[in-house]
Amino acid sequence: MANIALQSAATGLGALNTRMDVIANNIANVNTAGFKASRANFQDLLYQERAQPGVENANGDQRPTGLYVGLGVKVSGTQVTFEQGPLIEGDDLDVAIEGRGFFQVQVEDSLGVGGIAYTRAGNFTLNKDGDLVLASDEGRVLDPGINVPADAISVEITSSGKVIAYQPGQSQGTDVGQIELAVFVNPAGLRQVGENLFAESDASGEPIVGQPTDDNFGRVRQGYLEGSNVDPTRELVELIRTQRAFEMNSQTIRAADQALQTVAQLRR
Amino acid sequence: MDYGFYIATSGALAAKHRQDVLSNNLANVETTGFKPNVVLARQRVSAREEDGLNHLPSDALIERLGAGVLMEPSRISHAQGRLERTGNDLDIALEGKGFLAVRDGADTSGDGVRFTRDGRMTIGPERELILSSTGMPVLDTNNRPIRLADDAPVAIDRDGAIRQNGEVVARLGLYNVPDPDYLPKMGDNLFAVPPNQYQSREASSARVNQGFLESSATNDIKMMIDIQSAAGDFGTNIAMIRNFDTLMDRAINRLGRVA
């Protein structure tokens, strides 16, 4: 039996459940460096045109246009918000981006992203060869590569991304590389692939590579880490709202079921 | 059969319809820019009056009863939804009456203009502003897609002017129609614009709020109560049907029984 109220409420439950999943992931990543919060976007489903319910008219001429019944809601997609996260003091090799750019790191092809992935998480460290790598379990190598000499006492990174190593017995530092950043016309179109990494997609457009402090690329700050941009208060408020809306839709199911039950008992 | 039997049936069908429409409103309680449908019923006049037949004195009594209930076409309530801050530069919320215009490429019959209050925009591959939900281009005051000048951040003024590096690159087309309550809904947060309404569209003075989204205008508590009350009305009408059934049962099986 076609019961639209039942179906609409079910689509509501499904969509709200997805939003709950998205919020849960945001809250789980409230302390993940360089994490960007997502949101679930909702849109209404199709509308069904219906004859005027009530009494049938023998002539059928009583029906004006436009009696529509909606069929519920769906999640049209998730969208990442690239609001700047807070800058948190960190180690010497922590680098935060203030502005729009992304660090580029080398990834293996099995990730399906064509060699390079993008991240805002600048928690760098050195690998055994002295390369600047992400301090993640995979140790992704920064691209273009920066190699720090083994005997370096300290490393300085300027706001424009120049990396200078200081070695014992030398009064001047050695220029060991330049951090480059990538920007996208539409960062919201980037694909999330886990490990704090983003991959280029048709929606994001091609990366535009440049140096920090260039127009629109942002600048880098050594000794700072960009925190997660998840706002816990907002997420919790969203969670409460989602949960209540979920409960209300389950009440609709109960009300629609009640109507069905009444029909089922119509004939004694 | 009893006349009331049919009147009660019309009441039950109308209550079910109300429940269907209201539950869609409630399902969309978190849908950006959603406007709820209003369910309107009217008393139906007798079939004789409806069909314009001759009046017979013997009909007078039954005509006074009316002929049950009939649903009116769904109207849309365009009450303002809450503005919620998102901090995303490409989210906009309209405040006041009016719509954003977008182009539906799938529609080739006219110029495919649709209206929406959903201001979740993103940037397409050719730097055009598109809706993030459907990918339809957002139109400017000349009905052209809006193309950004470069990668610079986008600022949107309260009057819909889009700025990059301080220069106005385009203006959002904001429109109003004479009868927005009857714009057909198409799903995907879009309203279709019938030709007669489209012809008489006017520029809207709605204010644009960058970094905000308009939340669903569904009043969740009211919807819940109305859905419950529709379930109750449905039950009451069904009880009336059973009542008539009992009367007929007695008339057939008891009154007619030979002692």
What percent of chain B shows pLDDT beyond 70? 95
- Closest-CA distance, A187 to chain B, in angstroms, reads 9
Best residue in A1, A6, A7, A8 for a mutation probing chain B (most B CBs within 10 Å): A8
Q: What is the mean pLDDT of residues A117-128?
A: 91
Of A53, A81, A185, the CB nearest to B88: A81
**Closest to B86 measured CA to CA, from B32, B35, B140, B152:** B32
Helix (H), strand (E), coil (C) string for chain A: CCCHHHHHHHHHHHHHHHHHHHHHHHHHCCCCCCCCCEEEEEEECCEEECCCCECCCCCCCCCCCCCEEECCEEEEEEEECCCCCCEEECCCCEEEEECCCEEEEECCHHHCCCCEEEECCCEEEECCCCEEEECCCCCCEECCCCECCCCCCEEEECCCCEEEEECCCCCCCEEEEECCEEECCCHHHCEEEECCEEECCCCCCCCEEECCCCCCCCEEEECEEECCCCCHHHHHHHHHHHHHHHHHHHHHHHHHHHHHHHHHCCCC
Q: Which residues from chain A sit within 8 angstroms of residue B90, using beta carbons?
A: 188
Is pLDDT at A87 greater than 90 in this prediction? yes
* Residue-level length of chain A: 268
Reported as a pLDDT band with limits 50, 70 and 90, residue B109 is: low
Q: Is B132 within 8 Å of A263 when comparing Cβ atoms?
A: no
Minimal-distance CA residue of chain B relative to A204: B125
In the predicted model, is pLDDT for residue B108 greater than 70? no
Q: What per-residue string of b and e applies to B149-179 under the rule 16 or more CB within 10 Å gives b?
A: eebbebebeeebebbbeeeebbbbbbbbbee
Contact list in B for residue A42 (CB cut-off 8 A) is 28, 30-32, 34
- To the nearest whole number, what is the mean pLDDT of chain A? 87
The answer to whether the Cβ–Cβ distance between B188 and A76 falls below 8 Å is yes
Cβ-based neighbour number of residue B259 at 10 Å:
2
Q: A46-78, pLDDT tens digit by residue?
A: 888 776 555 445 555 445 456 788 899 999 888
Q: At what angle do helices A232-264 and B220-249 cross, to 10 degrees?
A: 10
- Sign of the Cα torsion B190, B191, B192, B197 reads negative
Highest mean pLDDT among A107-116, A201-210, A238-247, B105-114: A238-247
pLDDT for position A20: 95
What is the share, in percent, of chain A residues with pLDDT greater than 90?
48
- Closest CA of chain B from A122, distance in Å: 23
Distance CA A207, CA A226 (A): 21
Minimum distance, in Å, between the CA of residue A167 and any CA atom of chain B? 40
Mutate to test the interface with B, among A41, A62, A100 (most CBs of B within 10 A): A41
B259 pLDDT higher than 60: no
pLDDT tens-digit map of B17-61: 999 999 999 999 999 999 999 988 888 777 677 777 777 777 677
Contact status, residue B26 vs residue B220, Cβ threshold 8 Å: yes
The predicted pLDDT at position A55 comes to 45
Rounded distance between C-alpha atoms, residue A95 and residue B254, angstroms? 92
Residues shown for chain B: 259
Task: Tell me if ipTM is over 0.90.
Answer: no
Task: Kindly give, in sequence order, each residue whose CB lies less than 8 Å from that of residue B196, ignoring residues fewer than 6 positions away.
Answer: none
Give the minimum alpha-carbon distance from B133 to chain A in angstroms, rounded to a whole number.
6
Q: Which of A4, A79, A208 sits opposite B20 (nearest CB)?
A: A4
Q: Which among B10, B22, B223 has the least Cβ separation from residue A55?
A: B10
Instruction: Give residue for tokens 């203030």.
Output: A98
C-alpha–C-alpha distance, residues A51 and A54, integer Å: 9
Residue pair B217/B79 in contact by the 8 Å Cβ criterion? yes
Position A112 scores a pLDDT of 64
Give the Cβ contact number of residue A226 at 10 Å: 25
The predicted structure's pLDDT at residue B256: 65
Burial A211-225 (b: 16+ CB within 10 A, else e): bbebebbbbbbbebb
Residue of B5, B7, B13, B23 best to disrupt the A interface, most CBs of A under 10 A:
B23
**Closest CA–CA distance from residue B200 to any residue of chain A (Å):** 20
Task: Kindly report, residue by residue over B117-134, the tens digit of the pLDDT.
Answer: 999 998 887 889 999 888
Q: What are phi and psi of B244, to 5 degrees?
A: -65, -35
Cβ contact (<8 Å) for A39 and B71?
no
**Which chain A residues are closer than 8 Å to B125 by Cβ?**
185-186, 202-203, 205
Between chain A and chain B, how many beta carbons pairs sit less than 8 Å apart? 226
Locus of tokens 């059928």: A60
Instruction: Tell me the nearest-neighbour CA distance from B77 into chain A, angstroms.
Output: 14
User: What pLDDT does residue B42 have?
Assistant: 82
pTM over 0.95: no
Alpha-carbon distance of A83 to B88, in angstroms, equals 7
Whether the per-residue pLDDT at B213 is higher than 80: the answer is yes
Q: Are B113 and B143 in contact (CB under 8 A)?
A: yes
How many Å apart are CA A41 and CA B131, to the nearest integer? 11
Instruction: Round to whole Å and give the CA distance between B124 and B188.
Output: 18
pLDDT in tens, B53-80: 777 777 677 677 777 888 888 889 999 9
φ and ψ of A241, to 5 deg: -60, -45
Distance separating alpha carbons of residues B77 and A191, to the nearest angstrom: 37
**Rounded to 5°, angle at Cα B218 from A250 and A23:** 60
Residues of chain B contacting A72 with CB distance shorter than 8 Å: 24, 27-28
pLDDT-based confidence at residue A157 (cuts at 50, 70, 90) = very high
Highest mean pLDDT of the ranges A114-118, A199-203, B19-23: B19-23
Give the residue carrying structure tokens 């700050």.
A221
A266: nearest CB among B30, B189, B242: B242
The average pLDDT across B189-195 equals 90
> Is the pLDDT score of B191 beyond 80?
yes
**Which chain B residues touch A5 with a CB distance below 8 Å?**
16, 19-20, 22-23, 227
